[in-house]
Amino acid sequence: MKLPRLVIAGTHSGVGKTTVTLALLAALKARGRRVQPFKVGPDFIDPGHHAAVTGRLSRNLDGWMLGSEVCRQVFLRAAADADVSIIEGVMGLFDGSSPVSESGSTAELAKLLHAPVLLVIDGSAMARSAAAMVSGYARFDPDLRVVGVLFNKVGGAGHYHLLKEAVEVTTDLAVVGYLPADPSFTIEDRHLGLITALEQPTEALSHRLARVIAETVDVDRVESLARSAPPLEAEDTRTEPQPSGPAVRVGVAYDPAFCFYYPENLELLEREGASVIRFSPLHDQRLPDVELLYLGGGYPELHAETLARNHRMRTAIREFALRGGPVYAECGGMMYLMEAIRDFAGQAHDMVGLFPGEAVMQRSGLVMGYRELEVTTPCVLGSPGLRARGHEFHYSCLKNHPSLDYACTVTDAQGRRKGQDGLLRGNVLALYTHLHFASQPQVARSLLVCARGRQAVKKEA
């Protein structure tokens, strides 16, 4: 299957991979191309901006969380009807879950998909040194196809020509162009990363980037590099599950406070027989008529005052849970279920109150990393022994609680124990870990089994 594709990789974090990716997505879409975006790694925020530019859901590809075969399946399904796929890398090209292997890295993913790599370099403070850098990255792994270079944060056309000549004299890589240094190209960020696409519309920025890149980048050459990818064949061995019971209405919290969801999580629920109904804990006054609640991650700490003022929604969620309604919450969703969120200023805001204690924001003490979760106590995820993979990324911690019951243990990418996770109360499970359901499809099935059990109880009543 001929699937034009190109990985946008950086020498390190902060070089402008997202800016370059958005610029290329916008430029290709302006040419009438159906552009399918992807993101290497577990990030939620960049894919939201990709989707805002292209109008297509951006998919995460992660070798550690999903494994090679699931990554290929995710790619093949999403790219099948696209003219070109653009895959934004994570961190530096060779950075991943281990300092001595390619696991979880952009390089691993590029080799898995036999995708050529366009290397993004921050050219702001170099000239001939760029050639040494490019040579090192291009030759570090002979099984990786680094085919081109795009410079970011360049001082102007004169500076770019110095960089271009230095690289072309010493390598055979295509130097496709540059983006000028311009602070307006940067999306504002905060403690967990960029401002989300729900909060800062990407449309104006993407139009501006498309105009600039048309003047400073050889987009024809970029497309040619993407078309140089060899055919990619893989048998999709997944079988479509058959729903094992009646349809289940799943209420999914979705607004600027709760917007971190992998598309596959919702799609797996739908394939198991779920009907996804979005609602807003920020603005809606009542819950939709549902049998299961899914509260994803996001930024509840930034919207804590508004969440606290919405007494009706907080009460509705608490009463739903106390009646036995199954609730699955991740990170920000878990924080919302505590008695309070204490923000960065030290102000406490009342939340749902299903679990004792507070989620306290702290400017230091970032918790970040891959996680493998194992169920140790029966819960909405399934029976003891079930394992699933995901990641943690938060600045909060739980404090002022007399005791908490946990349903799971977690280890990191190296198999080291990282303690317990999964606050448990009846049919409520609240994790700090963001799970990717494709790492363990039984999760979606178990959630709906629990919801169907609740349906039966309601009918008998």
The answer to whether 331 is a known catalytic residue is yes
Instruction: Name the 3-class secondary structure at 360.
Output: strand
Q: Rounded to an integer, what distance in angstroms lies between the CA atom of residue 315 and that of residue 281?
A: 11
Torsion 86-92-93-98 (CA) sign: negative
- The conformational region for residue 334 under phi > 0 = left, psi -120 to 50 = alpha, else beta, is alpha
Chain center to CA of 136: 29
Residue pair 330/435 in contact (Cβ under 8 Å)? The answer is yes
Count Cα neighbours of 353 within 13 Å in the Cβ-side half-sphere: 12
DSSP code of residue 382: B
Q: Rounded to an integer, what distance in angstroms lies between the CA atom of residue 8 and that of residue 180?
A: 18
Residue pair 194/17 in contact (Cβ under 8 Å)? The answer is no
Chain center to CA of 356: 29
State the distance between the two ends of the chain, measured CA to CA, in whole angstroms.
54
Q: Could you say which of 71, 331, 379, 408 is catalytic? A: 331
Torsion 295-301-306-312 (CA) sign: positive
DSSP code of residue 196: P
Q: Rounded to an integer, what distance in angstroms lies between the CA atom of residue 297 and that of residue 45?
A: 11
Q: Please provide the size of the chain in residues.
A: 461
Q: By C-alpha distance, which of 307, 260, 259, 270 is closest to 292? A: 270
Residue pair 82/110 in contact (Cβ under 8 Å)? The answer is no
Q: Rounded to an integer, what distance in angstroms lies between the CA atom of residue 280 and that of residue 7?
A: 35
Q: Rounded to an integer, what distance in angstroms lies between the CA atom of residue 313 and that of residue 443?
A: 26
DSSP code of residue 217: B
> What are 197's two structure tokens?
């696409």
Q: Rounded to an integer, what distance in angstroms lies between the CA atom of residue 37 and that of residue 445?
A: 28
- The conformational region for residue 252 under phi > 0 = left, psi -120 to 50 = alpha, else beta, is beta
Q: Rounded to an integer, what distance in angstroms lies between the CA atom of residue 93 and that of residue 326?
A: 41
Supply the residues annotated as catalytic.
331
